[in-house]
Amino acid sequence: MIYIKSEDEIKKIRESCHIVGFCHKAIAENIKAGMSTMDLENIVVNVLKKYEAKPSFKGQEGFTEDAVLFPYATCISINEEVIHGMPSKKRIIHDGDIVSLDIGAYKNGFHGDSAKTYIIGNVDDKVKQLVEVTRGSFYEGLKFAKVGYRVSDISNAVQKYAEKFGFSVVKDFQGHGVGRELHEDPGVPNYGQPGRGPRLEAGMTIAIEPMVNMGTDDIIICDDGWKVVTADGQLSSHYEHTVLITDGEPEILTNHYL
């Protein structure tokens, strides 16, 4: 069931989303080659503590029966890792890597959720284009995040933009509603024909979440029941914001640089 938020609820979810934005701002200011992914985790944990928020991802269930509940505040995925990589002291970031951080904050009964892929040091133009197109596909989808359009209008815009540049969108995972639960209705796929799915209404809060691969859209869920990688080992990029549907233009609630 799709839950339309009241003004008071929107105020609360906006606060959670702003905290996610502050987390990404801290990452952008500090991420560099030589750090471990656990160093990044600790940065996010400290920001969450500062604003008295809890990590949304900690305790989430994995995709296989034997997967542990997710034990960290951040999902950190490098290069061919699409989503849901776990932080580690042993995983060191190198020049030329692309690092995707997915961050969620929970406060006053509501979640905020946002992801971004960071370029570390020197990469070739094709890699830069992958990251830029992933971000661009979000903004193409955002054009349709308005009252009267349908969810699949967003989905179609994301897919068309990414594929125009020769990239592929991940079809096995998708965006979603965000609110009292981290993942709510409606699902927001990154592909499909326009004019389908629920019609957008003011008060809906959704995460538009392109995951774009350099090569095939096929993915593999790893043995830990969490980490997802590209089937062909090529790079993947991730970009996500929580968005409020309004009577006018959509509002990006998790702006990274408030």
pLDDT tens readout for residues 127-149: 999 999 999 999 999 999 999 99
* CA 19 and chain centroid, separation: 15
Decide: 21 and 256 in contact? Cβ < 8 Å: yes
pLDDT of 65 higher than 90: no
Task: Give residue 116's domain range.
Answer: 7-252
> Please, what is the Cα angle at 44 between 73 and 252, to 5 degrees?
90
Task: Supply the CATH number for residue 39's domain.
Answer: 3.90.230.10
Residues facing 228 on adjacent strands: 83, 221
Residue 258 within a domain? no
Looking at the structure of the chain, the number of domains it has is: 1
Q: What mean pLDDT do residues 77-91 have? A: 98
Residue 2 within a domain? no
Residue 97 within a domain? yes
Residue 197 within a domain? yes
Local structure of 38: helix, strand or coil: helix
* Strand locations in 191-256 (E): 205-208, 211-213, 219-221, 228-230, 236-238, 241-244, 251-252
Residue 89 within a domain? yes
* Strand locations in 20-126 (E): 54-55, 74-78, 81-83, 98-107, 110-119
Tell me the pLDDT tens digit for each residue of 160-212. 999 999 999 999 999 999 999 999 999 999 999 999 999 999 999 999 999 99
Residue 105 within a domain? yes
Taking CA atoms, 189 is separated from 44, 161, 257, in Å, by 27, 14, 26
Q: What mean pLDDT do residues 20-43 have? A: 98
Rounded CA separation 68/224 (Å): 8
* pLDDT of the residue at 66: 87
| Angle of the 151-164 helix axis to the 125-142 helix axis, nearest 10 | 160
Dihedral of alpha carbons 187, 188, 189, 191, sign: positive
Give percent of the chain above pLDDT 70: 99
Average pLDDT, the chain: 97
pLDDT of 256 higher than 80: no
pLDDT class of 255 with cuts at 50, 70, 90: confident
Residue 236 within a domain? yes
pLDDT of 77 higher than 70: yes
pLDDT of 258 higher than 60: no
Q: What mean pLDDT do residues 29-42 have? A: 98
Virtual CA dihedral for 108, 103, 241, 160, nearest 10 degrees? Answer: -150
Rounded CA separation 37/93 (Å): 7
Q: What mean pLDDT do residues 22-35 have? A: 98
Element (H, E) at 185: strand 184-188
Residue 173 within a domain? yes
Rounded CA separation 74/55 (Å): 8
Q: What's phi and psi for 221, nearest 5 deg?
A: -90, 125
